Structure formats: structure tokens, C-alpha cells
Chains A and B, each alone.
Chain A
Amino acid sequence: SQQGEEDPQALSIQEGENATMNCSYKTSINNLQWYRQNSGRGLVHLILIRSNEREKHSGRLRVTLDTSKKSSSLLITASRAADTASYFCATRGSGAGSYQLTFGKGTKLSVIP
């Protein structure tokens, strides 16, 4: 079963605008990661935030984590047409032996040139 829920399910913006995607999860985590997927095939790791971190930046990406609300957000600034893809959050649990990632259903982002 999937733990996370991304919000919105689909997002359409103009090139140059910022895109914000949200993720909620249910159980305690060790870390939360965001992945990108083009055309329903391989996933590419974007950024990871640990449970004791609140915010992280990487290039045009900004991730926040609120463990009290069990939620995270991914902000893509100054979007480009090439950012069009599906974005997934994935959590790694904090329990012993929790080595797999649990993914949400994803947000489909369309950036219009």
C-alpha cells in the first residue's frame, strides 16, 4: 500500500512561474525524498530531507518538511518546459529494517512554454 498522498494530482503552469507540490504521509520516517519521472519510466532522485531537517535547497528546488504535520512540500522556482514530468515523494521509515521507499501517487506537472 502507498503511504503518501501528493497534492495536487495535476498542476499546469506557465514557464517562469513557480510550482509547488505537497506530500502527506502517515507513519514516522527517517527521511523523505522527491523523485521525478518522465513518461512513466525510470525515476530520478531529486533531493532528500532527513527527519531532523526542516528545509533544504538544491538549485531551483526547495523542500520543506513538517514532521508534526507529517507533510512536505517541493517548490520548483522559475519553471521550464523541461520540468514537465511527474513528481513523487517517497518516505523511508524509521523502524528497524525499513529500507524500502514508500511512494505517493505523484503530481503530474505541465509547464507551458
Chain B
Amino acid sequence: GAGVSQTPSNKVTEKGKYVELRCDPISGHTALYWYRQSLGQGPEFLIYFQGTGAADDSGLPNDRFFAVRPEGSVSTLKIQRTERGDSAVYLCASSINRGSTEAFFGQGTRLTVV
């Protein structure tokens, strides 16, 4: 596609449930990033992929969060046992390679845990 695509755009889930958020990066972009943005804050880094491997997952808040990118393209962010504090907009970005300067962001998935 022309840009980074994230699905769903909105997700409401009950506390304790499992959710998956999908990111489809720009074709040919090898670097993929996940960020989380709470209301009134800037995006906070979660995890970065170079190709299929997670090159840096230091931003994941705890072991309930996990992300994969099995074929080096689409990535899925998985959250287990969701908590109300997980409510935020989850943003995905991609760039041509890890040294590339500009990151292209998707429109985000707004996750609400009730």
C-alpha cells in the first residue's frame, strides 16, 4: 500500500482479555517500530524490528506485551491479560532501513480497556 496501515483503527476490550494489533508497513521498508501514546503525551517507544528480528524490545512495559514480525513485513503487537492502564493509541511506523532518517507512521489503533 501507499502508507503504513494499522488495523483495527479502534478496539474496545474487556479487562483481562487478549488483543492483537496489526501493522502493515510500507512495502520494502525493513525497519518497523511500535510506539504507545497516552492522552496528552508524546509517543513512547515499545519495540523495533529490523527484518524479522526484534532488534530492541527495551520499551515493552512488561511480559504481557509481545510483538512478532515473522516474514519481515506485517507485524502484530499482542497484549495478554489487558489492564485499564493499557488504554492508549498504539502507533506503528516503518522506515526504509534502520539507518534511514525518516519514519512513516500509521494512523494508529486506539485501544480502550473497560
Contact = CB atoms under 8 A, between A and B. Distances in A.
Contact of A31 (B4, B93, B101, B107): B101
Contacts of B40: 105
Contact of B89 (A4, A41, A104, A105): A41
Contacts of B112: none
Contacts, number: 64
Contacts of B107: 41-42
A78 interface: no
Interface residues of B, number: 30
From A42, A48, A97, A102, residue with most partner B Cβ within 10 Å: A42
Contacts of A99: 31, 48, 50, 55-56, 98-99
A101 B40 CA distance: 18
Contacts of A88: 42-43
Given A40-B89, A42-B91, A105 B105 contact: no
Given A40-B37, A43-B105, A45-B104, A100 B48 contact: yes
